[in-house]
């Protein structure tokens, strides 16, 4: 049987909405993804085989359990980045302002405090930075 996690959505650099669905199976334990442009052609990856972990130990997982855990981990990584379960939220993601409302980061080095200020930059500022590298 094939199990499917909720479809995720994001807006790509060309302004189109992309969708991603992650699946796992218990017949031949493994995971795969189905991705592409919404309402367009979707590409299905091959099955990534999952293997049992820590056999004979208290924290052992069967191949089927491992496939499920891998699928969920991949799905959660995508949600942490720029994918959304709700298609209406895809335009709320802005990679340039993400995290700029945080407190400044502080480091300790040789008993001195080093502070890095997070500064909001415009797209033209970022281009200037890249040109000078």
**How far is the C-alpha of 81 from the C-alpha of 90, rounded, in Å?**
11
Domain count of the fold of the chain: 1
| Of residues 50 and 101, more confidently modeled | 50
Interatomic CA distance for residues 11 and 9, integer angstroms:
7
pLDDT at 100: 46
Instruction: Give domain status of residue 48, yes or no.
Output: yes
> Is residue 36 situated within a structural domain?
yes
The pLDDT of residue 95: 62
Residue 22: inside a domain: yes
pLDDT tens sequence across 25-78: 989 899 999 999 999 999 999 999 999 999 889 989 999 999 999 999 999 999
Q: How far apart are the first and last CA of the chain?
A: 52
The answer to whether residue 68 is domain-embedded is yes
Structural domain includes residue 116: no
Residue 42 falls inside a structural domain: yes
* pLDDT recorded at residue 121: 47
- pLDDT category at 119 given cuts 50, 70, 90 is very low
Domain membership flag for residue 122: no
């Amino acid at each position: 049987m094939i199990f499917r996690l909720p479809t995720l959505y994001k807006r790509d650099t060309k302004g189109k909405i992309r969708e991603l669905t992650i699946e796992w199976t218990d017949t031949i334990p493994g995971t795969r993804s189905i991705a592409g442009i919404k309402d367009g052609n979707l590409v299905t990856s091959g099955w990534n085989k999952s293997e049992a972990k820590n056999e004979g130990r208290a924290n052992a997982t069967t191949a089927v359990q491992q496939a499920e855990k891998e699928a969920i981990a991949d799905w959660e990584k995508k949600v942490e980045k720029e994918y959304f379960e709700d298609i209406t939220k895809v335009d709320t993601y802005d990679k340039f302002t993400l995290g700029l409302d945080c407190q400044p980061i502080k480091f300790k080095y040789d008993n001195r405090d080093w502070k890095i200020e997070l500064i909001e930059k415009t797209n033209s500022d970022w281009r200037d930075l890249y040109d000078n590298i």
